[in-house]
Amino acid sequence: MTSKITQLKEIMSRLRDPENGCPWDVEQNFASIAPCTIEEAYEVLDAIEKNDMDGLREELGDLLLQVVFHSQMASEQKIFDFEDVAAAIINKLIVRHPHVFGDAEIKTASQQEIAWEEQKEQERKNKAASNIPHSNLDGVAKALPALLRAAKLQKRAAKVGFDWPDLTGVLAKIEEELYEVKQAVVDNDGIKEEVGDLLFAVVNLSRKLGIDPEEALRGCNAKFERRFRYVETSIAIAGSDIKKASLEEMDRLWDEAKKLEKSK
């Protein structure tokens, strides 16, 4: 009996057939599909946050399709195929877990995280070309969401001691960057750069507090959406148009939404 993964690969191959496949699928390339891959990964996360297991099953399938799609295109160019992708991750998992597949002893999750990072560091050094200087920032993908990439860059730098010793320095840096934003607004010069510096400093604070900045901002987005929807609904129930509502009225309803959330 044909396995489902084999069937999926066969379907993808047929969709990519230049003569009898789907025109849309045939026209795609790595670059055009990349945004879809990122989107599917976020939809997996969304299903997890909603605790939607049926949705998670579906979204994981969509994400798996992206892996098969990229593998099929690579296979057509004789670069690699799905089996090579699977073999690479199998080898990586075995190498990075010597305490499971070897004789190493790791007792706690924190010890494993340290060992994992040490292994990845060695892998980066092994991959580095001899004529290219090695950097501790190598391997932090440029395509990551900006907040997540900022946290990863800071974490890498912190490993070699380039970090504030405590929260005092981070908080002072945020105050400094906020002042520079205000000054840039007055001068009407370099505003975007200064806002970026402020965001970077806030990410640093999140990291020092053990908070994932992406997760924190997603939570803030969800909170804003809940409260704004409450404002919209309340105004609509009153028979009014939100576009004609005053800021004072919307602020009052916003505060009402906050109180209702806290009471729950």
Q: Could you tell me if residue 139 is inside a domain?
A: no
Q: Could you tell me if residue 173 is inside a domain?
A: yes
Tens-digit pLDDT profile for residues 228-264: 999 999 999 999 999 999 999 999 999 999 999 988 7
Per-residue pLDDT at 241: 92
Per-residue pLDDT at 2: 73
Q: How far apart are CA 70 and CA 37, in angstroms?
A: 9
Domain count, the chain: 3
Q: Are 18 and 81 part of one and the same domain?
A: yes
Q: Are 21 and 86 part of one and the same domain?
A: yes
Q: Are 154 and 204 part of one and the same domain?
A: yes
Q: Are 191 and 255 part of one and the same domain?
A: no
Full-model pTM: 0.67
Tokens for 140, please give them.
């932090």
Q: Could you tell me if residue 190 is inside a domain?
A: yes
Per-residue pLDDT at 263: 86
Q: Which residue, 132, 142, 102, is CA-closest to 119?
A: 102
- H or E element in which residue 53 lies: helix 53-76
Fill in the amino acid letter for 91.
N
- Domain containing 160 equals 146-211
Q: Could you tell me if residue 118 is inside a domain?
A: no
Q: Are 218 and 206 part of one and the same domain?
A: no
Per-residue pLDDT at 189: 93
CA distances from 41 to 12, 69, 145, 156 (A): 19, 14, 12, 24
Last residue of a domain, one of 79, 96, 113: 96
Q: Could you tell me if residue 107 is inside a domain?
A: no
Q: Are 228 and 199 part of one and the same domain?
A: no
Spans of the chain, pLDDT less than 70: 1, 123-133
Q: How far apart are CA 14 and CA 8, in angstroms?
A: 10
CATH number at residue 184: 1.10.287.1080
Q: Are 41 and 18 part of one and the same domain?
A: yes
Q: Are 223 and 207 part of one and the same domain?
A: no
Q: How far apart are CA 125 and CA 171, in angstroms?
A: 34
Q: Could you tell me if residue 174 is inside a domain?
A: yes
Last residue of a domain, one of 96, 118, 133: 96
Q: Are 91 and 167 part of one and the same domain?
A: no
Q: Are 162 and 244 part of one and the same domain?
A: no
Q: Could you tell me if residue 129 is inside a domain?
A: no
Q: Are 200 and 225 part of one and the same domain?
A: no
Tens-digit pLDDT profile for residues 101-126: 888 787 787 777 777 777 777 766 66
Q: Could you tell me if residue 113 is inside a domain?
A: no
